[in-house]
Structure 1
Amino acid sequence: MGENRELATAMAELDMSQAELARRVNAETQQLTGKEGSLTDRDIRRYLRAETAWPQHKQRLGLERVLGRPATELGFIPRSRRARQAQAEDPLHRRTFLVAATGTAVAAATPARRSRPGQSDADRLHREYTELLRDDSRLGGARRIENTAVELAARIQSSLAGGGASDRIRRQMYRLASDVTCSAAFAAIDASAPQRARTHLDKALTLAGLARDSETMYRVWDHLMLTSSQRENHAEAAAGAEVMKRSSVARRDPLYASLGHMRHANALARLHQPTESLRALNLAEKAFGRARGEQPSAWISFYSRAEFDALSSYVWTALGEHERAEFGLHRTLAAIPDGMVRNKALYTAHLSLSQARQGELELACATGRRAYGMLLPSSGSQRTTNTIARTRQVIEATGTRAPEVMSWIEESRRWT
């Protein structure tokens, strides 16, 4: 029995299961024809075993769109030279193929008759986005999360390409496309790839403008501020936070105002402006108190009391108040939901770092080991492993020769 290694490699690069590939190909078939496809994981297994040398036309197009490369580069072999020529000359194929290795759509299918996108389409795409957020909260910056978000955003935009949508649906879809693209950017941020994140955010900013929605624009600025901070450009981060806290949604909603002040406090602390930083932190606390009891929108619901304490701990760390940072992190870890695996591991790693900076070396080692153990095997949270690496640097700088600590140092090198 043969084996289609090219297809297996393409799936592995996207960390994509057989069932997930079948689902996405079916979704692409629906985009092309208006009818959902019927591909199953059993069909994908036949492709992987090379039992099907040349899939049917619709399945072939779907595979190419999802995996971002021609069928011949996915290990499929045309039945004849005539079939190869037909593929090359097929105008539908030329119109529909997506050719960016990153998963970015550069062309979209335009069937002769295309249904007008409506609320049911927006709801279906939003359900996929909700599923993506659940995966992100568990896995963090896995490349699969980022690529899935890019692919979903491309399909949302493709659904609007034929026109016909009402203004309400069009704005709703552009907002969703921006939110999804921000999710791709945040996955890149968590993977410590700020330049890649900025590329996503440039697109998200355009989509947010088309949505004409202040909350959507706010989220883009929040993530832009994070990329600036990750690149150690704290002056730019402070300027981005200023945009956030002066936005119309921040003037309207104290929760958005609080997050803007919190981001500003972090940037100012890293610019060595402690008085201004503490003033911003105090404003964040007051605004957060006014927001209690209000129902937040889907994205900013992450900004709970547990998250407030965690972000406050970053301010205290930058100001050299490591004991206060540790206190805030303990509060966070006591309150954060178990399902937020990525954040729980990240904040546990920061707790380890704060303990190391206070000279609690053995405790820091134990906490760091616990943080790494929380990460799922397919996690891509480079921020967490980078924090563990900084903990190791702090411990090594002490010159300790304690056997337990030296053992942890060697063990942790394998994690980072």
Structure 2
Amino acid sequence: MAVNAALKQKMLDLGLTQDELAAQMNIALLEITGRPGEVSARTVRNLLNGATRRPIGRTCAALEAVFGCPTRDSGFDPPRTAAPAEDPVHRRTFLVAATGTAAAGATRRLRLGQLDTNRFHLEYTRLLHDDSQLGGARSVEHRAVELATRIQSSLAGGGASERIQRQLYRLASEVTCLAAFAAIDASAPQRARTHLDHAFTLAGLARDAESMYRVWDHLMLTSSQRENHAEAAAGAEVMKRSSVARRDPLYASLGHMRRANALARLRQPAESTRALDLAAKTFALAPREDSSSWISFYSRSEFDALSSYVWTALGQHDRAESCLHRTLAAIPSGMIRNKALYTAHLSLAQARQGEVELACATGRRAYGMLPPDSGSQRTANTLAITRQVIQATGTKEPEVVSWIEESRRWT
């Protein structure tokens, strides 16, 4: 039996463990049929390890609802009898029902339970998927704010146990951080700071160290975008000294990595490379099993991408290019926003080494990856800087001059 790599990657993209995917499938079945599903972790295990190659019936419907695509896109054999095409109006009706039930349930019932939390989390996973495709689109940011507001409204009436309260406050903080990250990707750091002030309060109400760490991470990114690198370095120091970083080397590594980046921009090369070395050492100590939390984004490919930023700031563009090639070879295909962003940075690294024609080709490829409704201003800004570097060479090569004019329309 062969492992279903496509399904495994989709679970990684949404940060779902086997138990969590089973729970999300059961929620989807409740929404579709009105009856709770009976999907177990064992069912998911059979889907993952290849024992089940052609899911049928309720299992097929649940998978398609959770991932928003036909089962063949999740690595399964197509149904033996093709189902009729789904009516778009029916699908929109289902999605509205799926996203509205939790809010309606809060008014129908006095007590919030685990089912409410799971329903909200299913909406959050759909937002994560859209963010990985579109980047800093205002639609993602607005939907995240709206979801966080509904979660808080459900809590306002009381009627939840302390355990459920903390889960929902944590989820509201994570959703608000997603809104903040969409603003960061749109190069709107002040808007992101407003979201993060709110997320900080929610993480405190959840009394959750991982949520607080995520807020600090995003705050550090907004400081960096505002060119306040001393503040970014201070924020990274808080991250690497946090309780969660002391427990988990992956969190410690990210704190060291963020600090290395800030120090490089403060023109402290020795301190920056020392921090980068600590990031590598602690990353190597991190457990290799899949993490279901937000930190799972910090994979080997992401480690190399963030390392490239440090080498770029230190002026070592050949090392930055090497890191970016490793990143693009390993990054999951579904992470369209990140693939475009890192391809744009590869173009910039090539331009800074004088490989002008290659940089043009790479930049064109980066722009072509972005969906028409993408809001990833970071990618556009990187391509604009690439154009400035190429223009500064004074080249008169017709293909390069044509690319310069073409790229003006992108940025």
State the TM-score, normalizing by the size of structure 1.
0.75
CA distance in structure 2 between the aligned counterparts of 1:114 and 1:330, rounded to whole angstroms:
53
CA distance in structure 1 between the aligned counterparts of 2:252 and 2:327, rounded to whole angstroms:
21
Aligned residue type for 1:303? Y
Q: In the alignment, is the contact (CA less than 8 A) between 2:180 and 2:195 conserved in 1?
A: yes
Q: In the alignment, is the contact (CA less than 8 A) between 1:153 and 1:181 conserved in 2?
A: yes
Give the one of 162, 173, 181 matched to 2:176: 181
The match for 1:264 is 259
The structure-2 alpha-carbon separation of the partners of 1:239 and 1:121, relative to structure 1 and needing over 3 Å to count, comes to: same
The match for 1:4 is none
Q: In the alignment, is the contact (CA less than 8 A) between 2:233 and 2:258 conserved in 1?
A: yes
Q: How does 1:1-400 map to 2 (within 5 A)?
A: 22=93, 26=97, 30=101, 33-34=104-105, 111=107, 114-400=109-395
What's the offset of the Cα at 1:30? Answer: 4.1
1:296 aligned counterpart, secondary structure: coil
1:359 aligned counterpart, secondary structure: coil
Q: In the alignment, is the contact (CA less than 8 A) between 2:112 and 2:159 conserved in 1?
A: yes
What's the offset of the Cα at 1:296? Answer: 2.4
The structure-2 alpha-carbon separation of the partners of 1:199 and 1:22, relative to structure 1 and needing over 3 Å to count, comes to: farther
What's the offset of the Cα at 1:297? Answer: 3.5
CA distance in structure 1 between the aligned counterparts of 2:90 and 2:219, rounded to whole angstroms:
34
Could you report, residue by residue, the CA deviation over 1:49-94 in whole angstroms, capped at 9, with x for unpaired residues?
A: xxxxxxxxxxxxxxxxxxxxxxxxxxxxxxxxxxxxxxxxxxxxxx
The structure-2 alpha-carbon separation of the partners of 1:170 and 1:376, relative to structure 1 and needing over 3 Å to count, comes to: same
What's the offset of the Cα at 1:301? Answer: 0.7
The match for 1:401 is 396
The match for 2:3 is none
Could you report, residue by residue, the CA deviation over 1:12-37 in whole angstroms, capped at 9, with x for unpaired residues?
A: xxxxx977875676468646653xxx
Q: How many correspondences in the alignment?
A: 324
Aligned residue type for 1:178? S
CA distance in structure 2 between the aligned counterparts of 1:363 and 1:115, rounded to whole angstroms:
62
The structure-2 alpha-carbon separation of the partners of 1:383 and 1:28, relative to structure 1 and needing over 3 Å to count, comes to: closer
Point out where structure 1 has 5 or more consecutive residues left out of the alignment. Answer: 1-16, 35-109
Aligned residue type for 2:118? D
CA distance in structure 2 between the aligned counterparts of 1:31 and 1:351, rounded to whole angstroms:
43
Structure number with larger C-alpha Rg: 1
CA distance in structure 2 between the aligned counterparts of 1:20 and 1:211, rounded to whole angstroms:
34
CA distance in structure 1 between the aligned counterparts of 2:207 and 2:253, rounded to whole angstroms:
23
Aligned residue type for 2:285? R
Aligned residue type for 1:192? S
Could you report, residue by residue, the CA deviation over 1:359-406 in whole angstroms, capped at 9, with x for unpaired residues?
A: 000000000000000001111100001100000000111111111100
Aligned residue type for 1:191? A
Q: Which has the higher contact order (CA 8 A, sep 6+)?
A: 2
CA distance in structure 1 between the aligned counterparts of 2:333 and 2:101, rounded to whole angstroms:
36
2:284 aligned counterpart, secondary structure: helix
Deviates more, 1:22-31 or 1:195-204: 22-31
Could you report, residue by residue, the CA deviation over 1:305-335 in whole angstroms, capped at 9, with x for unpaired residues?
A: 0000000000000000000000000000000
Could you report, residue by residue, the CA deviation over 1:251-273 in whole angstroms, capped at 9, with x for unpaired residues?
A: 00000000000000000000000
The match for 2:77 is none
What's the offset of the Cα at 1:294? Answer: 3.7
1:350 aligned counterpart, secondary structure: helix
Point out where structure 2 has 5 or more consecutive residues left out of the alignment. Answer: 1-87
What's the offset of the Cα at 1:234? Answer: 0.3
Deviates more, 1:159-168 or 1:291-300: 291-300
The match for 1:412 is 407
CA distance in structure 2 between the aligned counterparts of 1:224 and 1:361, rounded to whole angstroms:
35
What's the offset of the Cα at 1:114? Answer: 3.7
Q: In the alignment, is the contact (CA less than 8 A) between 1:137 and 1:343 conserved in 2?
A: yes
The structure-2 alpha-carbon separation of the partners of 1:390 and 1:154, relative to structure 1 and needing over 3 Å to count, comes to: same
- Identical pairs, percent: 77
Aligned residue type for 1:208? A
The structure-2 alpha-carbon separation of the partners of 1:235 and 1:23, relative to structure 1 and needing over 3 Å to count, comes to: farther
Aligned residue type for 2:252? A
